[in-house]
Amino acid sequence: CQALPKNLLFQLLGLSIAILSTVTHYGLHFTLIRDISLESNCYRVIHHAAFYFGICLSMTLILAALLSSTATVRESQRLTAMGFFCFALAFCGLLPAVCWIYTHGTEVEDSMMDVYDLVYEEVRRNISSFRKHELAAIHEAFLCCGKHSPFGNTVNVERKTCPPGQAHGAGQDCLREIQRFLKKHMDFVFMLLGVTVGFTV
């Protein structure tokens, strides 16, 4: 009976990881950057890999918890062994994920900011009129306005693409806002995975 609350906890952790993966995959901020990014940018690969890894991990945890619960009720050694195997599999997936976030978290940040830089500079040089809509969408999603550019005056770009009411110089620098948003998100992911590792051990 004591194992049942623990199994419920693992089901909740698995469900939390599934929800977080879905929010990361379908959230406005992430899908906007994904749709704008070029094929050569690594963000698309990271975006899809994070979603599928998170869903697989959550399903493994939920399955392990269900197998353990059933094994406890039926007192089945076979189901217990299968449950432990699923927990071991989840643990083997969790450790590399936590290590990757800790050591390569800046890759996601850099790839997102590269997308913004590309769109911003193309709008500044009037290369593509379609990019103005993309830049305006980023400004609206991240509630920011332009960036500090060493390549020339950016007032015209910001006047055309910033949300209403954010005058030049009054809005938040978008590179900083993207960085701040992503840091909060990655900290939450790191904390959730760390808690899951702890309970799995």
- Distances from the Cα of 50 to the Cαs of 13, 47, 88, in angstroms? 17, 5, 20
**What integer is the mean pLDDT of 19-47?**
91
pLDDT of residue 183: 92
Give me the helices (H) in 27-161, please. 28-36, 43-74, 77-124, 130-142, 155-161
CA distance 57 to 165: 43
Q: Please determine, for residue 146, whether its predicted confidence score (pLDDT) is greater than 70.
A: yes
φ, ψ (nearest 5 deg) of residue 160: -85, -25
Q: Please determine, for residue 1, whether its predicted confidence score (pLDDT) is greater than 50.
A: no
pLDDT digits (tens, 9 = 90+) for 169-201: 555 788 999 999 999 999 999 999 999 988 887
Share of the chain above pLDDT 90, in %: 39
**What integer is the mean pLDDT of 29-41?**
89
Q: Is 61 exposed, middle or buried (0-12, 13-18, 19+ CB in 10 A)?
A: buried
**What integer is the mean pLDDT of 116-141?**
86
Using the structure block, give the residue that is written with the tokens 């992430």. Answer: 30
CA distance 127 to 107: 27
Residue 58 pLDDT class (50, 70, 90 cuts): very high
Q: Please determine, for residue 19, whether its predicted confidence score (pLDDT) is greater than 90.
A: yes
Question: Which of 147 and 60 is assigned the larger pLDDT?
Answer: 60
Residue 166 pLDDT class (50, 70, 90 cuts): low
Contacts of residue 125, Cβ cutoff 8 Å, sequence gap at least 6:
none
pLDDT digits (tens, 9 = 90+) for 102-126: 888 788 889 999 999 999 888 888 7
pLDDT of residue 151: 54
What are the extents of the domains in the chain? 2-200
Tokens read off for 50? 């994070």
Q: Please determine, for residue 135, whether its predicted confidence score (pLDDT) is greater than 60.
A: yes
CA distance 187 to 50: 15
In angstroms, how far apart are the furthest CA atoms of the chain?
Answer: 73
pLDDT of residue 18: 94
Q: Please determine, for residue 154, whether its predicted confidence score (pLDDT) is greater than 60.
A: no
User: How many residues in total does the chain contain?
Assistant: 201
